[in-house]
Amino acid sequence: DIQMTQSPSSLSASVGDRVTITCQASQDITNYLNWFQQKPGEAPKFLIYDASNLETGVPSRFSGNGSGTDFTFTISSLQPEDIATYYCQQYDDLPYTFGQGTKLEVK
Amino acid sequence: EVQVVESGGGLVKPGGSLRLSCAASGFNISTFIMNWVRQSPGRGLEWVSSISDNSHHIYYADSVKGRFTISRDNAKNSLYLQMDSLRAEDTAVYYCARDLTSGWDGGNYWGQGTLVTVSS
């Protein structure tokens, strides 16, 4: 199975800050990577596919980058409504696997 | 609007069975791969199973293989998960997820989930 390692596991930032989360795959997954946002009590919400393509309606302050084994997810200017846990997921091969999540908090 | 709604969760004893359903609206499931994913505090997010549009290709996580059966009824626009020989470690919120395109995209659009609790 492909292992997905996210860092950091938690992050505290201020409104307006630039925030970056990294996700590393245990083998080359090309660009077959999704990013999800999960708020407390809610289902994960799909944000980015193919590592860098924004889902329709997702604010442009969110972005993704990377290919191969190393990927990043960035919020250019943190907003209060962005407080959530973020997950990466590879879909290069079954079983699909997820990172352990990055919990984002506001300072 | 793409929407999937799961149902059928509940409390079941170890060794018992449960059948989850996922009703889709706003799109025709016949052209999409559909998935089940679960989430628990101990195991995080875990892919469970996927089924192709025509049901010819079906895949399971090793942890559920031989115990769970995924199926779909395109005429009813619905997806199912039959769960047998349930174990305590199957306790989780189960999500139905539609792929983004007609390809194998990992499961992009999720429902709100249904809670399955396996306990005596």
Assess whether pLDDT exceeds 90 at residue B87: yes
Average pLDDT over residues B78-104: 96
**What pLDDT is stored for residue B79 in this prediction?**
98
Half-sphere exposure of B24 (CA within 13 A, CB side): 26
Identify the pLDDT of residue B102: 85
Provide the mean pLDDT of chain A. 97
Label residue A38 by pLDDT band (50, 70, 90).
very high
Pick from A44, A49, A95: CB nearest B110: A44
| Pairwise CB contact (< 8 Å): A97 & B61 | no
User: Which among A33, A53, A47 has a CA at the least distance from the CA of A82?
Assistant: A47
pLDDT digits (tens, 9 = 90+) for B20-49: 999 999 999 999 999 999 999 989 999 999
Question: Within an 8 Å CB–CB cutoff, is residue B61 touching chain A?
Answer: yes
Burial class (CB in 10 A: 0-12, 13-18, 19+), A76: middle
Q: Is A34 within 8 Å of B59 when comparing Cβ atoms?
A: no
B102-119 residue pLDDT tens: 889 999 999 999 999 999
pLDDT of residue B12: 98
Best B32, B58, B108 residue to mutate vs chain A (most A CBs within 10 Å): B108
CA distance A75 to A64: 9
Residue A106 above 90 pLDDT? no
